[in-house]
Amino acid sequence: MAQNPMPDLAALADRIGRIRDDLADATAEIEDAELTSASPDGAVRATVRRGRLVGLVIEPAALEQDAGALAAQVLRVVRDAEDRAGAAQERRLVPAAEQMRALLADHT
């Protein structure tokens, strides 16, 4: 009857350390990242950081439209910036999470 070989604990610890470092780097990068979105004409721009709206620019030209249209345009731009921030976060964190999942699957 064959026994499961003992895992190389030093290699395992090294791999866990690299994954931990990748997650820390990704988290720091995400926390520092600002993502900006703009309306097609550039008259409305929104900037998001850490999931929060941190900047909103409405150029005078945008004020020429009625209040409802301006509000809709602002919402579209803010939501686009939020969506882009979420996608960037996912692109950055998912690979490290998949590495951790694979590591756990290999050693369970």
**Residue of 3, 2, 27 whose CA lies nearest to 93:** 27
The closest of 2, 65, 77, 97 to 37, measured between CA atoms, is 77
Question: Could you tell me the two tokens for 45?
Answer: 């721009």
Contacts of residue 52, Cβ cutoff 8 Å, sequence gap at least 6: none
pTM listed for this prediction:
0.72
Q: Which CATH number fits domain 34-103: 3.30.70.2860, 3.40.50.2300, 3.30.1310.10, 3.40.50.10860?
A: 3.30.1310.10
**pLDDT (tens digit, 9 = 90+) per residue, 13-51?**
888 888 888 888 888 888 888 999 999 999 999 999 988
For the chain, domain boundaries: 34-103
Task: Provide the terminal-to-terminal Cα distance of the chain, rounded to the nearest Å.
Answer: 20
Which is higher by pLDDT, 36 or 2?
A: 36
